[in-house]
Amino acid sequence: MKIDTKHIAPQTFKERTEIRNLIGEMVSSLSVVPPLSMSNLETVADELINQYHIDTAYRGWMMVEIHNQVWKDTIASIPFDRRILLLPKCLSNSGKCQAEIDDLGLLCHRCGHCPIPDLQEKADELGVMSIVAEGFTSVVGLIQNGVVDAVIGVSCLNSLEKAFPLLIRNAVPGIAVPLNYDGCKDTQVDYGYVMQLMSMRSDKDATFMDYDGLRAQSKAWFEKDALKEFFPESADYTSIAALDWLSGDGKRWRPYLVAAVYTALTNEDRASDDVRRAAIAVECFHKASLVHDDIQDNDDERYGKPTIHKVYGVPLAINVGDYLLGQGYRILGGCESKGLIAAIAEAHVALCKGQGLELDWSKAPQPLTLDFVLDIFCNKTVPAFEVSLMLGLICAGDDKELRQVFHAYSKALGIAYQLLDDIQDFDNDEPIEIRPSAVLALVCEQHPDKDFLQQLFATQNMKEFFSQPGNKAILDEALEKARALAEDYHQQALAALANVKQVELKRLLFRITERIIG
């Protein structure tokens, strides 16, 4: 959220209350659930500004208040002892405050010369943890570590410019109350409004996923002893190599997504047998694709170690990949949920099509278009995200509307991820061969000169070529455009979640987006 000197809070309590009431009515009519993306917040704020002719200088303040309204019901369902109240030091009376400051914040003497003592006393009475410190960063850490589940924070709009996106990206259940005016001392806040928000409590109790616990659980499924339950013991080289490869290095994003989507939709503490089978199967397909990709791309290393075909030779490596594909389908065949095999087969075919497009181009390289590269992404990268979400959804009972949401979300997420991956190729000293990439496509489109492209396609190392005088500016231009595209697709991914009605599923996908491309 961009808040500058043109963005201020409404000047009177009456005006602030009137706009808060309008926001409350708008949010209720939209039936939205948290979290909302920055783009969502901007849209709602602009609709209100246009409909009620509100001063555009209040836009940033309104975005914060819209965020608050969307989270209110969830915050009210969180027990008081799982909340934290964050107050800024600038609320204190600078001329009379005698409090000390340590690493944790202000040590208030509760002298009564400012609102801080009353707010903290109310927090103590309710059982809400409270601190006086600047910034939301430490509070987000407390939430991520499971100390608290929600934050109610008071801050100036200038500080919220930095802190508020942090809450959005981490899908933190939170309310941010802007100070009535900016300044580094003797500021003011709508005291009664903060008291009201802090005291909200519904008769429901919110339940939140243990993300770290679920991640650890899904990783544990790939320990060798655990995998032996699904893989028959065998002494042949293919079986041994495949099991070593499957249980070896990897981020395990796909298995985690299968389990996390199922958990968010069912609120089950433990994954079902079908979920575990689907999670292992999807990793079998992923690891098989890596083996085949490394052969086709003639890569020497994966995860900082020699690739399978470098260790065992190409014939055995091909067999290892095929073996993992077969095992994936066999494991899925033992599931009760219908539609799992069809979903993963569709993703498998799409991935092969995307790889085929890349291989066909490599036989006769020619100037690239961005549309062609995005088509490769949509077949080769997007299905890898989408199939994991779909498998978790099918295990949870399936839903046609969510299938559509997951498709749109995965497309934007996959493209953003691959764009960033292409950009990051230029962040190290490793040579880059000519291959279909978004950066190369943008260079081709922005500089179609035949002589230039002929020299570019003749190079053995793109980094070396673009380090030459005059060429660096061309690369920088393409990288800048690619970053802008990545951010655009990032926002499209979040926007695709607008119709998700399950708060915890939406929170999960916001967090996943941040972890993968944020």
pLDDT in tens, 284-332: 999 999 999 999 888 889 988 999 999 999 999 999 999 999 999 999 9
Instruction: Assess whether pLDDT exceeds 50 at residue 68.
Output: yes
Instruction: Assess whether pLDDT exceeds 60 at residue 198.
Output: yes
Render pLDDT for 229-268 as a digit per residue (tens, 0 to 9).
Answer: 998 888 899 999 999 999 998 889 999 999 999 999 998 8
Residue 331, in any domain of the structure? yes
Q: Is 226 in the same domain as 195?
A: no
Instruction: Assess whether pLDDT exceeds 90 at residue 428.
Output: no
The pLDDT-based confidence of 97 (bands split at 50, 70, 90) is: low
Query: Residue 147: helix, strand or coil by DSSP?
Result: coil
Instruction: Assess whether pLDDT exceeds 60 at residue 3.
Output: no
pLDDT at 4: 43
pLDDT at 324: 96
Parallel/antiparallel/unpaired status of strands 305-306 and 129-132: unpaired
Phi then psi for 150, rounded to 5 degrees? -150, 155
The partner residues of 257 in beta bridges, in order of sequence, read: none
Q: Is 303 in the same domain as 170?
A: no
Q: Is 122 in the same domain as 40?
A: yes
Residue 4, in any domain of the structure? no
Q: Is 133 in the same domain as 220?
A: no
pLDDT at 100: 55
The pLDDT-based confidence of 135 (bands split at 50, 70, 90) is: low
Our CA dihedral for 24, 29, 31, 34, rounded to 10 degrees, sits at -30
Residue 65, in any domain of the structure? yes
Encode burial over 431-470: b for 16+ CB neighbours within 10 A, e otherwise: ebebebbbbbbbbbeeeeeeeebeebeebeebeebbeeee
Q: Is 45 in the same domain as 68?
A: yes
Residue 2, in any domain of the structure? no
How far is Cα 414 from Cα 412, in angstroms, rounded to an integer?
A: 6
Residue 409, in any domain of the structure? yes
- 57 CB-near residues (< 8 Å, 6+ apart): 6, 7, 8
pLDDT at 373: 96
pLDDT at 325: 96
pLDDT at 99: 58
Residue 208: CB atoms within 10 A of its CB come to 17
Residue 204, in any domain of the structure? no
How far is Cα 500 from Cα 504, in angstroms, rounded to an integer?
A: 10
- 63 CB-near residues (< 8 Å, 6+ apart): 1, 38, 41, 42, 44, 45
Helices 382-395, 273-297: crossing angle, 10 deg rounding: 170
pLDDT at 105: 54
Cis, bond preceding 431 (omega within 30 deg of 0): no
Task: Name the token pair of 289.
Answer: 């694709």
Q: Is 315 in the same domain as 421?
A: no
Q: Exposed/middle/buried for 400, CB within 10 Å: 0-12, 13-18, 19+?
A: exposed
pLDDT at 115: 76
Q: Is 327 in the same domain as 378?
A: no
Domain count, the chain: 3
For residue 475, what is the enclosing H or E element?
Answer: helix 471-495
- Average model confidence (pLDDT) for the chain? 89
Domain boundary among 280, 312, 336: 336
Domain boundary among 277, 307, 336: 336
Q: Is 183 in the same domain as 235?
A: no
Instruction: Assess whether pLDDT exceeds 90 at residue 123.
Output: yes
Percent of the chain with pLDDT over 90: 63
Phi then psi for 133, rounded to 5 degrees? -160, 165
For residue 89, what is the enclosing H or E element?
Answer: none
Q: Is 386 in the same domain as 293?
A: no
Domain boundary among 305, 336, 367: 336
Domain encompassing residue 237: 209-336
Residue 289, in any domain of the structure? yes
Residue 55, in any domain of the structure? yes
The pLDDT-based confidence of 5 (bands split at 50, 70, 90) is: very low
pLDDT at 160: 76
pLDDT at 1: 44
- 96 CB-near residues (< 8 Å, 6+ apart): 111, 113
CATH of the domain at 433: 1.10.600.10
Q: Is 35 in the same domain as 138?
A: yes
Instruction: Assess whether pLDDT exceeds 50 at residue 129.
Output: yes
Q: Is 327 in the same domain as 383?
A: no
How far is Cα 32 from Cα 70, in angstroms, rounded to an integer?
A: 7
Tell me the mean pLDDT in the region 345-359.
93
Encode burial over 55-92: b for 16+ CB neighbours within 10 A, e otherwise: eeebbbbbbbbbbbbbbbebbbbbebebbbbbbbbbbb
Helices 503-517, 400-424: crossing angle, 10 deg rounding: 20
Q: Is 412 in the same domain as 516?
A: yes
Higher pLDDT, 322 or 499: 322
